[in-house]
Structure 1
Amino acid sequence: MTTLHSTTMQPPHLHLLTTTLLLLLLWAVTFPAFLSAVNLPEFREAPAFRNGNQCPNPTSSSSTIHIAMTLDSTYLRGSIAAIFSILHHSTCPQNTVFHFLSTHRPSAHLRRTILTTFPYLSFHLHHFDTNLVKNKISSSLRRALDQPLNYARIYLADLLPTSVHRIIYFDSDLILVDDIANLWSINLNSHVLGAPKYCHANFTTYFTSKFWASPLFSNVFQNRNPCYFNTGVMVIDLVKWRQGKYTEKLENWMRIQKRYRIYELGSLPPFLLVFDGNVEGVEHRWNQHGLGGDNRDGLCRDLHPGPVSLLHWSGKGKPWLRLDSGKPCPLDGLWKPYDLLNHAPLFSDN
């Protein structure tokens, strides 16, 4: 006769209690992520934008404009406004294809949001696996800069099909007031990347004193003319990127950062380290950045002198948050017409 010890079998009521606790624990871990993917804001349907008679056939790959943006629940309202502004000012909107990068899996809820807001839009959803940057991200001055999706732009050449030769990357906190074709058509010459450059900025502030004190690091800029550029607006030659293995070069600096702490500003410094001094300059009108306000004091910013084709609310303050709080900055009113959020009605029919 075999004797069962009490440690090998639980009474039925204890077994049920253990199972219940395990299920509750599993629910607590998975439900917030599920909820964030499902509980997305709702947006009004945008107008249908059609090509003019002078537009080339939208099915022709040579006439297609490719745009990449990230999508997540936090900045989705900004992304929708950006898409709307691009289509609104485009002469040939049907020739534009959007490539959305998201960490959500499944992405059915994001797909539904895009389809119901822009039923006519040509787009693709690409899953960004956060394991690609696991153990490569170091903490920065702002928690928002530490999110894995901020690093997805580094992997565009891997995430997009090789048939896509050129891409415009846009952040989610901007709007266009010009035809996207004018940015798409710039000549990158021999460069991999094009962006507005700001050579008056104090370049030393983007890296720590440890970086500048070590010739092993600081000599990377030797015989280069480095100028700050904002990675929220970039035109990228993906063919040259793949050939030059620039993703690996950016990752290498991220590994160095983890070990030596040579910068404080998230995904921007690796781009400066790899590309600065080798960027095709784009007119400043294509990135009127910093409209989010001073990163330390949150003060409102004015436009830079000169013409404007793109307004960019980089910085801590986002226009939708300031508008909702009733304390907008003066320029936030320029973003408001592109806000498609489906606000709750003031009165109910019930």
Structure 2
Amino acid sequence: MTLRRVNVVILILLAVAFLIIVQRNLLNLSDFLHKENADARMILPFESELSPNTRLDLDRKGEEIPVLITASEDRLGAVIAAMNSVYQNSKANVIFTIVTTNDTADHLKLWLSRTKLKNVKHKIIVFNPDLLSGKISKDPKVAESSTPLTFARFYLPLFIPEAEKAIYLDDDVIVQGDIQELYETNLKAGHAAAFSDDCDSTLAKGIIRGAGNQNNYIGFLDFKKEAIKKLGMRANTCSFNPGVVIANLTEWKNQNITQQLEHWMELNIQEDLYSKTLAESITTPPLLIVFYKHHSSIDPLWHVRHLGTTGAGNRYSPQFVRAAKLLHWNGHYKPWGRVSSFPEVWDRWFIPDPTGKFHPVRRLQEPLDQLSPSLKSRVGH
């Protein structure tokens, strides 16, 4: 073979090798682009910090999950923490309906617009107190009379008219699970709502027993009254907690649930039907009557309650609290107050008020903790 032929063969081999290399690179590039397309919606952690406006928002498509929560001025920090926990722990397409008052709406708008919650889908509705005219007592001794927002859950179809299903949350909750799971709670045929039964665990019974039969109907209703007797309800029936509600709004409207609740509110004004053993609760009794043995149940881990009750927090282990999907500080002791159980869990989701108006009370008290016992007593700590 002549030298010229050898050179030609070498050139051909080099060309073939080059083509093979190019082909492999093109295949790798194709795989890479395919993967990029599949992961196009994924945003890396450092990218989320640099681009907060896009963090997780692109993933929030699909069925809307309406969540209603109320916002009063003195508890506005609680609303922010609750909303943040819901939003950060789920990629669901959550739409918040926030029911508030005229004097709080502007403060709420500023808080949302100046923090990382500015991209959360929400609508703010100002509660019309005329809805409750003639339905609740004006007695200043009844705490709930001065906080009409507690009755917003009675009017779910009014505030969320376009939805077939919705979630109501009290403001003193933290959601640690994916709200999609709670939303998918199965409601039995004909049931307009699901609640957490107060007898769903021995722990709940132990906590509540010392607070005056709060785990059954007799703790909320006066069974000596004729209107209550006529209902034929058993006084020892397990009550439920309406701080978390999953509502079938179609059934709610078909069964005129709001009108039924209003009837019992009006009748109570005339006949004083509610029990005096508790703190004059006027929100829970109408719900207990209307939904007597006609409601579905929520998974107990989706409503771990009594964190705001004396000594209750000590009955929960840190491991159990971490496993809980929703924590509720119902009771007198709130996580933004001076004393509460597991305040560090609430702190994780609280976003400081950019206006400087709201501060967790216990944070203002922290310097006092460094004082001697005698000095603490002098300043009323």
Task: Sort the TM-score into its range (normalised by shorter chain).
Answer: 0.7 to 0.9
RMSD of aligned Cα (Å): 2.9
Structure with the bigger percentage of helix: 2
Corresponding residue for residue 265 of structure 1:
281
Distance in 2 separating the partners of 1:68 and 1:340: 20
* Counterpart amino acid of residue 188 in structure 2: N
Residues 1:242 and 2:253 are matched in the alignment:
yes
Distance in 2 separating the partners of 1:321 and 1:186: 32
Q: How far did residue 301 of structure 1 move?
A: 3.1
Corresponding residue for residue 157 of structure 2:
157
Corresponding residue for residue 19 of structure 2:
none
Tell me which of 288, 313, 319 is aligned to 1:301: 313
Q: Is the 8 A contact 1:140 1:265 kept in 2?
A: no
Corresponding residue for residue 349 of structure 2:
338
Residues 131-174 of structure 1, C-alpha deviation per residue, up to 9 Å, x if partnerless?
1112311248762564111111111211222x211110001111
Q: Is the 8 A contact 1:89 1:179 kept in 2?
A: yes
Corresponding residue for residue 180 of structure 1:
179
Corresponding residue for residue 230 of structure 1:
241
1:300 and 1:116, CA in 2 relative to 1: closer, same or farther beyond 3 A? same
Distance in 2 separating the partners of 1:153 and 1:123: 17
Residues 1:317 and 2:315 are matched in the alignment:
no
* Counterpart amino acid of residue 258 in structure 1: I
Q: How far did residue 127 of structure 1 move?
A: 2.1
Distance in 1 separating the partners of 2:54 and 2:327: 21
SS in 1 for 2:66: strand
Q: How far did residue 202 of structure 1 move?
A: 3.4
Q: Percent identity?
A: 27
Q: How far did residue 196 of structure 1 move?
A: 1.4
Q: Is the 8 A contact 1:174 1:312 kept in 2?
A: yes
Corresponding residue for residue 34 of structure 2:
none
Corresponding residue for residue 86 of structure 2:
86
Distance in 2 separating the partners of 1:48 and 1:273: 46
SS in 2 for 1:194: strand
Q: Is the 8 A contact 1:49 1:87 kept in 2?
A: no
SS in 2 for 1:230: strand
1:144 and 1:256, CA in 2 relative to 1: closer, same or farther beyond 3 A? closer
* Counterpart amino acid of residue 275 in structure 1: F
Q: What's the TM-score, normalizing by structure 1?
A: 0.72
Q: How far did residue 47 of structure 1 move?
A: 5.6
Corresponding residue for residue 304 of structure 2:
288
Distance in 1 separating the partners of 2:148 and 2:261: 14
Residues 1:123 and 2:135 are matched in the alignment:
no
Distance in 2 separating the partners of 1:214 and 1:312: 32
Corresponding residue for residue 9 of structure 1:
none
Distance in 2 separating the partners of 1:186 and 1:202: 24
Please, which moves more after superposition, 110-119 or 134-143? 134-143
Distance in 2 separating the partners of 1:116 and 1:108: 12
Distance in 1 separating the partners of 2:67 and 2:53: 19
* Counterpart amino acid of residue 321 in structure 1: G
Distance in 2 separating the partners of 1:81 and 1:275: 30
Distance in 2 separating the partners of 1:76 and 1:186: 28
Q: Is the 8 A contact 1:225 1:277 kept in 2?
A: no
Q: How far did residue 182 of structure 1 move?
A: 0.8
Corresponding residue for residue 111 of structure 2:
113
Distance in 1 separating the partners of 2:352 and 2:149: 23
Structure 2 unaligned regions, length at least 5: 1-50, 200-204, 206-214, 275-279, 357-381
Corresponding residue for residue 99 of structure 1:
97
Q: How far did residue 258 of structure 1 move?
A: 0.5
* Counterpart amino acid of residue 67 in structure 2: I
Distance in 2 separating the partners of 1:159 and 1:312: 23
Distance in 1 separating the partners of 2:251 and 2:101: 26
* Counterpart amino acid of residue 171 in structure 1: D
SS in 1 for 2:125: strand
Q: Which has the larger radius of gyration?
A: 2
Matches within 5 A, 1:10-89: 50-51=55-56, 58=61, 60=62, 63-89=63-89
1:311 and 1:106, CA in 2 relative to 1: closer, same or farther beyond 3 A? closer
Structure 1 unaligned regions, length at least 5: 1-45, 323-327, 345-350
Residues 59-106 of structure 1, C-alpha deviation per residue, up to 9 Å, x if partnerless?
x4xx1111000112111100000011111211x14x111001112169
Query: Aligned residues, how many?
Result: 280
* Counterpart amino acid of residue 233 in structure 1: V
Q: Is the 8 A contact 1:150 1:267 kept in 2?
A: yes
Residues 169-207 of structure 1, C-alpha deviation per residue, up to 9 Å, x if partnerless?
001111011111110111112111012112352331112
Q: Is the 8 A contact 2:172 2:330 kept in 1?
A: yes
Corresponding residue for residue 170 of structure 2:
171
Q: What's the TM-score, normalizing by structure 2?
A: 0.67
Q: Is the 8 A contact 2:71 2:104 kept in 1?
A: no
* Counterpart amino acid of residue 204 in structure 1: I
Q: Is the 8 A contact 1:293 1:300 kept in 2?
A: yes
